[in-house]
Structure 1
């Protein structure tokens, strides 16, 4: 079942953040990820307006999405933004309808 990596971000240093975003597409592709939305027009319908960039990435499985996020190559790329280039919230959610 497909899984989706959802990211919300606030960029504080565009130059350093670009070093991260330049590396990520290739890493995602090697793990089966497909970018569905990256940046672009958005409208916050409810909740805090803490973030101004939104990304949705589809993976064939939850395990592949988690493996990508935990990979050494992704950690190396993420080091650019984690060093102060931005604030990011990442969530990986499995697709489908589930009830509690």
Structure 2
């Protein structure tokens, strides 16, 4: 059953954030991740508008998505954005 990595982000330092973003596609691919939506047009229908970037990634299973997030490679890449590049919230959701 597929699972979905849903993230919302705020980029505070584009140069620093790019160091993270450049590494992520190859990491996702290793875990079977497929980007369904990233950036682009959006409209906040309800809730705070603290985030301006939204991402949805499909994984073959919930476990694959969690393994990707917890992997050494992803955590090393995420250190770039956590070091001042921006703020991200990530939720893994089991599909139906």
TM-score, structure 2 as length reference: 0.99
1:84 offset after TM fit, Å?
A: 1.1
C-alpha separation in 2, matches of 1:8 and 1:80: 16
The corresponding residue for 2:69 is 69
- Structure 1 counterpart SS, 2:92: strand
Alignment of structure 1 residues 4-19 onto 2, 5 Å: 4-19=4-19
The corresponding residue for 1:88 is 88
The corresponding residue for 1:57 is 57
Bigger Cα Rg: 1
1:77 offset after TM fit, Å?
A: 0.3
C-alpha separation in 1, matches of 2:63 and 2:41: 30
The corresponding residue for 2:23 is 23
Instruction: List 4+ stretches of structure 1 deviating above 4 A.
Output: none
Q: CA RMSD in A?
A: 0.4
TM-score, structure 1 as length reference: 0.95
Q: How many residues were matched structurally?
A: 96
Uncovered stretches (5+) of structure 1, i.e. residues with no partner: none
Uncovered stretches (5+) of structure 2, i.e. residues with no partner: none
